[in-house]
Amino acid sequence: MKKNFLTAGLLCCSLWVFAQNINPQVLDLQDHTGLLSLLFDSKLFDPSGEVLWRPLNFSDALSANYSDDGYLHTHLDTLLYFTTYGISQAVAVFSTLHYEKGELSDCHACGVQISVAVFDEAQGGKWSLGRFAKHFTTLGSGGENGMVGLTQFGSNQWCLTLSMSWIGQGVFSEYASFYNLDNMEKVFNYVVHEDNSGALGAATDESYSYDKSIHFITHEETESGWWDFEIVTRGTQPGIGDDVKSVPANGVERYHFNWETDYYMRVCP
């Protein structure tokens, strides 16, 4: 079964490469206006450089968050660079914002809509477009964006990292999510920090605060090529059951990439 999947996958890859060789889409990543115009099918821009566009199909319309002028406003947020298997690649991250009367405005739980394009380096300082995912997720709150970056998950494996903070009912939290740049599917997410100081106002037996950090095990090879890692937790966490007092939250958990689910799973002790 796995051999059949592998053969089919290689065939698809060869067809994809062949199609790219016939008609490659080569772009100048420093031409932000041209990049936005191509990917979002519009030549209309506002004075700040945001492209103004409307959905051209049903799928795009489902995720559309129109501003009060009847357009979607998108700008190039970040350009990131990395190398896999000796090939230089780039990631362009785009943010679609919501405006009311010219001011950034959205609900508390509403984040910025994120689109991502992945490129391979071509000749002459140009870049060949490989993949584009429009509005594949949201990030942030109150209509404002979070943080975008890259994290290396293996010798030739990189993930787009999306980080954000959130406060609700006095509990402050920070989150990180990681997306496979090959297919833009999430491979892992975790709570980086959480505390309830905003709910209590002063330190009590119910107060808790913990931090988590990720530590990659780079010296051990894996069959998938994705490194194992450990999530280290330090601090205190809410009590369990009827016990409202906080309890220690110190611990280490190991995670391993699962080929069948394309997601990191916890390794049982």
- Where residue 200 falls among pLDDT bands split at 50, 70, 90? confident
- Where residue 24 falls among pLDDT bands split at 50, 70, 90? low
SS (H, E, C) the chain: CHHHHHHHHHHHHHHHHHHHHHCCCEECCCCHHHHHHHHCCCCCECCCCCEEECCCCHHHHHCCCCCCCCCEEEEEEEEEEEEECCEEEEEEEEEEECEECCEECCCCCCCEEEEEEEEEECHHHCEEEEEEEEEEEEECECCECCEEEEEEEECCEEEEEEEEEEEECCEEEEEEEEEECCCCCEEEEEEEEEECHHHHCCCCCCCCEEEEEEEEECCCCCCCCCCEEEEEEEEEECCCCCCCCCEECCEEEEEEEECCCCEEEECCC
**Distance of alpha carbon 246 from alpha carbon 147, whole angstroms:** 30
Q: What is the pTM of this model?
A: 0.86
pLDDT digits (tens, 9 = 90+) for 136-147: 998 987 667 789
Q: Return the structure tokens found at 150.
A: 């890259």
Contact 222, 228 (CB under 8 A): yes
Q: Nearest 5°: CA angle at 145, between 141 and 147?
A: 115
Query: What does the pLDDT read at residue 111?
Result: 83
Nearest Cα neighbor of 165 from 185, 179, 144 is 144
Name the residue type at position 224.
S
Count the neighbouring beta carbons within 10 Å of the beta carbon of residue 195: 19
Query: What does the pLDDT read at residue 115?
Result: 95
Query: What does the pLDDT read at residue 239?
Result: 84
Query: What does the pLDDT read at residue 8?
Result: 41
Contact 235, 246 (CB under 8 A): no
Q: How far does Cα 120 stand from its chain's mean position?
A: 19
Name the residue type at position 236.
T
pLDDT (mean) for 206-223: 96
Count the neighbouring beta carbons within 10 Å of the beta carbon of residue 34: 13
pLDDT digits (tens, 9 = 90+) for 55-102: 988 988 888 889 999 999 999 999 999 999 999 999 999 999 999 888
Q: List phi, psi (to 5°) of 103.
A: -110, 145
